[in-house]
Structure 1
Amino acid sequence: MTNKIELSVLDPSPIIKGGSAELSLDNTLDLAQKAEKWGYNRYWLAEHHNWVGMASSASPIVIGRVASVTERMRIGSGAMLLSHYSPLSVAEQFGTLEVFFPGRIDLGLGRAPGTDQFTANVLRQRTAGEPDFDERLQELIAYLYGSGTTMRNGSHSFHAIPGEKTNVPIWLLGSGLYSAELAGMLGLPFSFAGHFAPGNMMEAINLYRERFRPSSFLEKPYVLLAVQVVAADDERKAQRLATSMYQKFLLLTRGQPSPILPPVDDMDQHWSEQERRSVEEQLFTSIIGDPAGVKQQLHELIKKTGADEIMAHTEIFNHEARLRSYEILAQAAKS
């Protein structure tokens, strides 16, 4: 058993029923400051669009604001959805963040749309012959780590100013095998989305390590594993708080995304047996319990996966209870 486990926060700035985006963003700033005090390593903002339960759509702006109220933690994207943006604009945004907060910015990249297909089309404004994710990634690396890019005929060059040669750390995030293999081949750190799609977890982590090639980015593989965490001072309370998470995923299976709902006493009154199994399949890596239970589950997860770092995703209806959950997890990681 290790003496200390590296912990981080994944925050989509969840909106609760009866709340607002403004309240959620205020809560994000409060959580970030307290997470830093409790020893968390990094704080990433998730990107979602047209989603009534999440306020983190403009994640680079939120990243800058969070960085401005903290001092030590690395602040980053979990993930910046590269398919929606030009690599040049992403390089400029994160290059600017790096200038303001040197040595504290992470650029996590994802391939998922982070929304429904209709909203994705509005965001992307696609045209024929657009580059795929791999090409966008290589272009982005050229802006941040090299001297920009040049048109194929050499007639014009492009530079990220600021951004060029800032070497902002790039991570690949994913819930399947594609990003795991690509991260390994490029020698990049990899974050697996175990908080909503744990089915491929071990296969993806093992594939990443098998395909890993040392690079100028990273000498050896580094796995950051995102998981759902709900901790409370007693087991019964933790299980009740977790029903807000269950309701969220239940409604998603029904195609009804919603704000975070208050906890309930009995989920069996809300889901069918088939729905229960479906939700549990999405959440089987979740860590739920009192301090002793959370500590045991955390160490068991590290032993099973060999993850280098755990990123906690916690959506609890009551803000104070959410803060307490992160505090309990931090205490469990230090013992």
Structure 2
Amino acid sequence: MVSPGERCAPEVAPPRSTMKTLSDIPFSVLDLAPICQGGTAAQSFRNTLDLAKRAEQWGYQRYWVAEHHGIPGVASAATAVLIGQIAAGTSAIRVGSGGIMLPNHAPLVIAEQFGTLAALFPGRIDLGLGRAPGGDHRTARALRRNFGADTFPQDLEELRGYFRPGGPGNGVHAVPGEGLDVPVWLLGSSDFSARLAAQLGLPFAFASHFAPDYMHEALALYRRYFEPSKTLAEPHVMVGVNAVAADTHDEAHRLFTSVQQAFLNLVRGTPGLLPPPVESMDGQWSPLERAHVERMTLCSAVGSPDVVQRGLEAIAESTGADELIVTGQIYDHAARLRSFELVAGTQRRNCGSE
């Protein structure tokens, strides 16, 4: 069987100057704070903090949580609150959002929240921003001030202005926030944020862990149109990857069925709690549903450590990524910890320290 990661290849390879070996690429964690069947949000938060502490020990560079709303199996709706809990429970790893959905909030509120986090945990907070709702339209309408109006570029400029010394010049000040160094990332699954990140000279993260279709096109556009800024002298790309590792190939694929079932439920419009793994997905989906789920999870590395390493290497080579951010929706917490430990080990194996 070919690993999904080994199929996640571009039509046109990235410039050779962008290619790095796996040992040169920092690994980070993207956590959706999954609520498992039979579990609770409180248990999810305990598991998140436990994983964050261990991720710090295993050498991961960042620990990001994502804003979602109205999804039974995702507990990270109050993203800034959870970031504060994670940062308080760790000591060095960068903690941030992957991402905050900017259209859901007044820019001043985000500036104050992340200004507070940056004041509490100097040099450790990242602000990743997206323009998707992070939930269904009914939930988005309940969250947003002006539902349907796409003012993302203007809101982004206002938000960034609150972090500048003196503020954005509109007489409104973010306290805390003003004058603090809070790195801003743009996140996306299409070319919109790629072009905007390039125009503003910001780092860009692509959501290839669930929407890989336009990944190579978006990354190429970002690199082609990138304009150096005070933030970045050259493009900086992070790529999302589903990674599930276990001591045996078969066990990893069994664990991955929780991910596949979760995506299948999304495809069917019936999102729920993270289900336990099954021995086989045969009979669980129709051929059309299987094709849809496999397309959504194309950027995945699943298997024994050797197989996962090859999958991550293939994704890194095909994208020229500067960083990989790994997510793994695994039902059993101990198995999830073991998976992230093994994934971290693939980078050390690559640089010959094991």
Shorter-chain TM band: over 0.9
**Long gaps (5+) in structure 1:** 152-156
Alignment of 1:185-204 (within 5 A): 185-204=199-218
1:133 aligns with 2:147: no
Note the C-alpha offset of 1:131: 6.9
Note the C-alpha offset of 1:3: 3.2
Deviations 1:173-207 (A, max 9, x none): 00010000100110000000011000111111111
1:296 to 310, 322, 327: 310
- Number of residues of Structure 1 aligned to a counterpart in Structure 2: 329
Alpha carbons 1:4, 1:334 under 8 Å: kept: no
Extract structure 1 runs of 4+ deviating beyond 4 A. none
Deviations 1:108-158 (A, max 9, x none): 000000000001011114279x6700000000111112422344xxxxx10
Q: Which amino acid aligns with 1:165?
A: G
Higher relative contact order (CA 8 A, sep 6+): 2
1:220 to 216, 223, 234: 234
Distance 2:100 2:285 in 1: 33
Q: Secondary structure at the match of 2:23?
A: coil
Alpha carbons 1:5, 1:334 under 8 Å: kept: no
Alpha carbons 1:95, 1:166 under 8 Å: kept: yes
Q: Which amino acid aligns with 1:33?
A: K
Note the C-alpha offset of 1:227: 1.1
Distance 1:146 1:314 in 2: 39
**TM-score of the two chains, using structure 2 as the length reference:** 0.91
Q: Secondary structure at the match of 1:248?
A: helix
**Long gaps (5+) in structure 2:** 1-20, 350-354
Deviations 1:61-102 (A, max 9, x none): 100110001111110011111101111111011001000000
Note the C-alpha offset of 1:4: 4.0
Alpha carbons 1:5, 1:309 under 8 Å: kept: yes
Q: Secondary structure at the match of 2:325?
A: strand
Give the structure 2 partner of residue 30 of structure 1. Answer: 50
Q: Which amino acid aligns with 1:211?
A: Y
Q: Which amino acid aligns with 1:183?
A: A
Aligned residues: CA RMSD: 1.2
Distance 1:2 1:230 in 2: 17
2:321 to 301, 307, 310: 307
Give the structure 2 partner of residue 10 of structure 1. Answer: 30
Q: Which amino acid aligns with 1:187?
A: G
2:67 to 32, 47, 68: 47
Q: Secondary structure at the match of 1:3?
A: helix
Q: Which amino acid aligns with 1:291?
A: P
Percent identity, aligned pairs only? 49
Alignment of 1:254-265 (within 5 A): 254-265=268-279
Note the C-alpha offset of 1:297: 1.1
Q: 1:196 to 1:2 in 2, by over 3 A?
A: closer
**TM-score of the two chains, using structure 1 as the length reference:** 0.96
Q: Secondary structure at the match of 1:229?
A: strand
Give the structure 1 partner of residue 80 of structure 2. Answer: 60
